[in-house]
Amino acid sequence: MNRIEKVLQNDDSAYIYFVKIFKTFVIFLSFYLFSILEKNSIHEILDKEIFTTSKYYQFSIASMSFYFVTSILFIQNKTYRFNFISFMKEDLIIIFFSQILIFSVYFLMNKIFIIDLGYLYLLIFLLINLFITKKLFNIIYNYMINNDIIHKNIMLVGNYKDIIFFIKNKKEKINIFKCCIVNDLSNLNKSLIRSEIKMPVFSQDEDVRSILEYHELGQIWVLENNPKDTEKLIMNIIKFSVDILIVDLVSKANVLSQNLLYDKFEFRKYEISKFYGPNLLLKILLDKILSIIFLLCATPILLVSALMIIIEDGFPIIFSQDRTGWDGRRFKIFKLRTLIKKKFDKTIQVTTDDQRKLKCGSFIRRYSIDEIPQLFNVLFGDMSIVGPRPHPVELDIKYSKLFINYLKRHKCNPGLTGWAQVNGLRGFYTDSKMKKRMEHDLWYLNNWSILLDLYIIFKTFYSIFKYKGD
């Protein structure tokens, strides 16, 4: 699943913030263009001095600042609105009050700003540009939905009648129901239900993990009619990494609530990943920037290490293996090959005195040089710089049976480094050590922030030189 979808998984706050920032730029650009074109030709459009010496310069800075601060601080809706009413509320009203405030400040400071036809034309020009910008972002949002860039793949869980009722009330294109689990399926005509619901239908006894992975699900919506039945349903899916929402089909919806679906149903977040919205977008940008910087810095080390591997044991240089990513998705992890070219059991961990290691392998693993190619995994979006370390698929299956909360580690992209690793939990591990790893990973998921990521990155460099290797 594309991480852009994850940014908008739980709400549209990241998109709304981006729109507000862009509109702030549009306000500045409108003032800039009008100040030049009011009395000059288009050929002087790049002459900044005309703008900085115009009467609109300070006015533009004030207007832009007021709009930005007001629109960011007073964002209420976390769902992007398309209609003209939203434009009236978000732009017209803010612009109107900003002008009143600015004129009041000018009056108190004994500054003179003459309101003439030029100023009125400027306001009209500004509002037209903001309206065009609004329409443009409407088109972009629709495009992303229609091309499955930000759609939300959802599995419905509930009784047959509740699912039918809820589907008939569906309005938003962004929510795509990929499949459903019908609790009372065993008591009904299965073929008739499948033809009526028109999506893959499963019973609550099915292999949920396989369903989640095959349909690339991002959320599970549990339709609640009876709270006691809801708890039983949740116990079967809570151990997985997918976000869970409880949709209340009984209570009368509060129209003023922010937690509404289709303006009819109240919902509450039962198990939600913290990795969404503006913070996730910032994490993605940080991943891309740091991975490029680290790759550039590490290129000489990679080349020397690759040469050592070739001289000792020939090609291939890179070792790849299936690992588990966000929401249980499989991906190929890249590492420098440090073991001899022989087949071996993937579940057998590498030890300090392992006979399978190349002579240069000990040095490469000692300073985690073998992990550097995973920076490409970060660039491709399969991994992050910081997150729970990905384990071989076979080990994930093993430990998911031993520890009930193990699969919750997959509520974010796996990391090049993680909270467990900087706390000494790396290298060869036993069942008890794996449990501690899992506990540290879950702590990271529950307490994640950008500052925590930066702390882990800095601490990682210290841990590398302290680590004795495996």
Tell me the average confidence (pLDDT) per consecutive run of 10 residues in the chain, 470 residues long: 71 86 93 87 82 83 86 73 74 81 74 72 90 92 79 84 84 76 78 80 81 81 76 70 83 64 76 86 93 94 92 88 86 90 65 76 85 94 94 87 86 93 80 91 93 93 67
pLDDT of residue 110: 67
Whether pTM > 0.75 for this model: the answer is yes
d(CA 224, CA 458): 45
pLDDT of residue 418: 94
What CATH architecture applies to the domain 152-272? Answer: 3-Layer(aba) Sandwich (3.40)
Q: Using alpha carbons only, what angle is made at residue 71 by residues 65 and 77, rounded to the nearest 5 degrees?
A: 170
Q: Where in the chain is the domain with CATH 3.40.50.720?
A: 152-272
Q: Which two tokens stand for residue 117?
A: 């036809």
Q: Are 400 and 406 in contact (CB under 8 A)?
A: yes
pLDDT of residue 152: 74
d(CA 414, CA 322): 13
pLDDT of residue 346: 56
Under 8 Å CB-to-CB from 360, ≥6 apart: which residues?
305, 308, 309, 312, 338
**Among 287, 291, 257, which residue's Cα sits nearest to residue 275?**
287
pLDDT of residue 300: 93
